[in-house]
Structure 1
Amino acid sequence: MRYPKCLTRSLMLCALPLAASACAPRVQLKPIFPPTADLKAIVTPKPAARPEIVTSAKASAEYDIAVEKWGDTISSAGGIICRWVIDQGGKLPFDCPKAP
């Protein structure tokens, strides 16, 4: 059985873009999530207060330093994630902190 010429040409024209797309180089996709290190930093628990901070000035100062360091780490990671969202095309109703 012979097929009409126009049907055969139509099928070949439909198959041609599929064959051409198979020859295209693979594209490296960008990650859709923020950097893992920054996510880990923002979920780090706050340092636990020990009973010694009430009676010892040194223990109290060490705890204050640990809490300040913890807060600075979270703030820095939050800024990085905020800027990452903007770089990915996200729109935020507030301004991100500047990079240090």
Structure 2
Amino acid sequence: MTDLKPSFKPFTLGSIVATPGALDALSQSRILECLIRHARGDWGQVCEEDAAENDLATCEGFRILSAYAIDPAQPCAGFGDNCVWVITEADRSVTTLLLPSEY
């Protein structure tokens, strides 16, 4: 039995890299947690439309963007100070963790 969404296709993360800001803001365990959620199709704090786009992107080979709280005990709007983005490129060659301000 699997929890996969019907429109979700598993994808590879490629090389995993992180910006200096993301490395400073996140513990290693939080980085791993965000990567696991991203790979499983839990897109975090993105709007419904972006979540649907991510689901489609896993099937069509487009870029995938997830947003997670740096500190899960604090609010996260998908951007701003308490947010980290996880982006897997369309060719699945690399997944990057970065702060929105570093984009």
Q: TM-score range by the shorter chain?
A: under 0.3
Name the structure with the higher strand share. Answer: 2
TM-score, normalising length: structure 1: 0.21
Name the structure with the higher helix share. Answer: 1
TM-score, normalising length: structure 2: 0.21
> Relative contact order, CA 8 A, sep 6+: which one is greater?
2
